[in-house]
Structure 1
Amino acid sequence: MKALVLERQGELSLRDIDLPSDMGPTDVRIKLHTVGVCGSDVHYYTHGKIGDFVVNAPMVLGHEASGTVIEVGKDVTTLNVGDRVCMEPGVPDLTSRASKLGIYNVDPAVTFWATPPVHGVLCAECVHPAAFTFKLPDTVSFAEAAMVEPFAVGMQAAKRAHIAPGDTAVVLGAGTIGIMTALAALAAGCARVLISDLSAEKLAIAESYDGITGINIRQTSVVDAVAEVTAGWGADVVFECSGAQAAMNDLFRIVRPGGAIVFVGLPPDPVAIDISAATVRECRMETVFRYANVFDRALDLIAAGKVDLKPLLSETYPFDASIEAFDRAAEGRPSDVKLQIRVDTESEAP
């Protein structure tokens, strides 16, 4: 079928490619509707690898997806043909030790869309386990459903933070994941969230939400801003979503004694952190890799109107303009948060 294929670093094509299509008894076949352009997709396009994951052969991109069920396996009881759905893109080995511990996101055997050598879903249809496919409530559009995946990362970060009602949080980096982490922190009970970035445009989008205050680090020190808001005590939780060394240098000056730091962003290169500064504050440090057991909760929050992701959608491209969408994402326009590609251009549903 026709798909957006990363041929090699820096080269994309829209062409026919043979993709796995066999269905098992617990699988469903899905007609893709909307697929988001993720930063990891763009990084594979521009750099050809992320850490140890290297693109050594042509690979279909895309893992933030929604669509419609068009076929169900004989043992599937939770979904029906015609159901609108979104899909958790990582499928673990359910017999693995990681899965049994409830941390299937770090299962070495997990297969995750658009992670070499696994193909993604910027194509017409896909086959996926029903257990990792979630029916959409009528209140959730295909576009919102395709943002459940990145929002689940923010949910995982909030879960790892062990937020208490009334906490003050700081998010370093106002990209897509940074803003979604801020929204997840508010949903988890934070009274206020400060978010920092170099981009005034992204900060303006973040500040359109009640409870979020932006810090433009071109103009104001994060350390000073947090000290002013917390009377010098520090934030209860700091979410590091930028991956920048400069942000790492400030971590232990903005977290309160006994507070938590959650590492969400993936630095492109190794970074240094001050262990001595962490120790004297007895900080708890957590890391986030994708998510586990939060995908349905993320969808429920959106469906309930507790989290509104619509302001984060910058533009939607038709499937035939997929390469243009990726080139724009690679530009890194300051005003862009989330770009999406509408694969199904025939359906009238948004």
Structure 2
Amino acid sequence: MTSSPALPETTLSQTVLPATMRTSVLLHQQQLTIEDRAVPTPDSDEVLVKVAAVGVCGSDVHYYREGRIGDFVVDSPLVLGHELSGTIVAVGADIDAARIGERVAVEPQRPCRSCRECRAGRYNLCSKMEFYATPPIDGAFCGYVTSQTEFAHRIPDSVSFEAGALLEPLSVAIASIRKAQIVPGSSVLIAGAGPIGIITAQTARAFGAGEIIVSDLVPAKRERALKFGATRVIDPVATDPATLGLDVNAFIDASGSARAVDSGIRSVRPAGTVVLVGLGNPEMTLPVAHIQNLELTVTGIFRYVDTWPTAIHLVASGQVDLDALVTGRFDLDHVAEALDSDRDENSLKSIVYPN
């Protein structure tokens, strides 16, 4: 995230900070370059974080390959990467210098704090939101970033920097499970065994779900789901889940597939909940009469609110394993390879190490 010019009242770490940092910049679709950019200086309410690890997200891949996600269009150079962790090395004038040296996971949001949605506690829906790696806000494929202090969450030494970076997709899963109203004994169908689907399965287990069914087209991904919380897997090509009488409390789509969404909706019991997470076709046909007759609640997920404390607890307590999800590691010179790593069906989460 970009910041204002240097402020003289900033408190720096005892280590002398460099004037510039290497930065991976998306110039155009599938065109990346390395630039030397000035190390940002935190505003009075911010901290400066030396980036340790950055997870590659599907949104990064969309911006890299297609240059857009819906209404968000890359029309000028952009730094990708919003799943990040690191160490605080400097603080702004209003921040206690004792924070310097803290290991943190950064919640990549900067809401305005004053609009209707922010005042209502829905800061993820802030109309003036500045979100890392979302045009025109730069992300974290670079040496240092600034963050408002409350969004730089301290992580214990038992949580690795890799896991700290992946608290962001875990937060998506937590938001989804909360929306799905999963409680001990609940049953849930999850479509898609990619990173979000796998993390959501683990989170459902941590929230006490008794039955966690995961569907995916790829056999290897279905097998992997069984290792990360799924109690049952389904090949949706061989058998339409809607024909199995699953009668689940909730359906969570992490695939973006219109067919999976329709099938999932038809697998939910009366008064159940449908949560749409996956990025797919921006428009699709839904079985409206079915939704009405069963009084289903259908909702979407747009990022998260106040999930990091829960995420840190789930990882630190061993209820969710994020380290085991890392299948690829890349330096800043190989960001393109990191972004293309999803083409390998054995890939789950790739990490970029800027420093």
TM-score, normalising length: structure 2: 0.90
Aligned partner of 1:337 among 315, 324, 348: 348
- CA distance 1:40–1:171, shift in 2 (3 Å): same
Q: CA deviation at 1:202?
A: 1.6
- CA distance 1:240–1:79, shift in 2 (3 Å): farther
Percent identity over paired residues: 35
Matching residue's letter, 1:95: S
Aligned to 1:168: 187
Aligned partner of 2:94 among 55, 66, 75: 75
Q: CA deviation at 1:93?
A: 0.7
Partners of 1:211 and 1:267 in 2: how far apart? 23
Partners of 1:138 and 1:8 in 2: how far apart? 38
Q: CA deviation at 1:75?
A: 2.2
Greater Cα offset, 32-41 or 196-205: 196-205
Aligned to 1:159: 178
Q: CA deviation at 1:257?
A: 1.1
Aligned residue runs from structure 1 range 280-295, under 5 A = 280-295=293-308
Aligned to 2:27: 7
Q: CA deviation at 1:181?
A: 1.6
Partners of 1:210 and 1:266 in 2: how far apart? 23
Matching residue's letter, 2:328: E
Aligned residue runs from structure 1 range 60-209, under 5 A = 60-77=79-96, 80-209=99-228
Aligned to 1:44: 63
Decide whether the 8 Å contact of 2:215 with 2:233 is kept in 1.
Answer: yes
Write out per-residue CA displacement over residues 269-314 of structure 1, whole angstroms, 9 at most, x where no aligned residue. 3111011011111111121101011122111111111111222111
Decide whether the 8 Å contact of 2:28 with 2:77 is kept in 1.
Answer: yes
Partners of 2:254 and 2:310 in 1: how far apart? 21
DSSP 3-state at the match of 2:203: helix
Matching residue's letter, 2:260: A
Q: CA RMSD in A?
A: 1.6
Aligned to 2:339: 326
Decide whether the 8 Å contact of 1:72 with 1:79 is kept in 2.
Answer: no
Q: CA deviation at 1:91?
A: 1.0
* Structure 1 residue runs without a partner (length 5+): 345-350
- CA distance 1:250–1:211, shift in 2 (3 Å): closer
Decide whether the 8 Å contact of 2:341 with 2:347 is kept in 1.
Answer: no
Partners of 2:47 and 2:242 in 1: how far apart? 50
Write out per-residue CA displacement over residues 3-54 of structure 1, whole angstroms, 9 at most, x where no aligned residue. 11110112111222457x2322221111101001110000001000000000
TM-score, normalising length: structure 1: 0.92
- CA distance 1:33–1:305, shift in 2 (3 Å): same
The reply to whether residue 27 of structure 1 matches residue 46 of structure 2 is yes
Partners of 1:282 and 1:91 in 2: how far apart? 36
Aligned partner of 1:270 among 283, 290, 307: 283
* Structure 2 residue runs without a partner (length 5+): 1-20
Partners of 1:222 and 1:272 in 2: how far apart? 18
Write out per-residue CA displacement over residues 203-258 of structure 1, whole angstroms, 9 at most, x where no aligned residue. 22211134532212233332244x2xx4xxx1000001111111122133201111
Aligned to 1:348: none
Partners of 2:34 and 2:340 in 1: how far apart? 14
Write out per-residue CA displacement over residues 170-191 of structure 1, whole angstroms, 9 at most, x where no aligned residue. 0011111111122222222211
Q: CA deviation at 1:316?
A: 1.0
- CA distance 1:265–1:78, shift in 2 (3 Å): farther
Aligned to 1:236: 249
DSSP 3-state at the match of 1:66: strand
Decide whether the 8 Å contact of 1:79 with 1:130 is kept in 2.
Answer: no
Decide whether the 8 Å contact of 1:67 with 1:85 is kept in 2.
Answer: yes
Matching residue's letter, 2:347: D
Partners of 1:269 and 1:282 in 2: how far apart? 24
Decide whether the 8 Å contact of 2:274 with 2:299 is kept in 1.
Answer: yes
Aligned to 2:12: none
Aligned residue runs from structure 1 range 202-217, under 5 A = 202-217=221-236
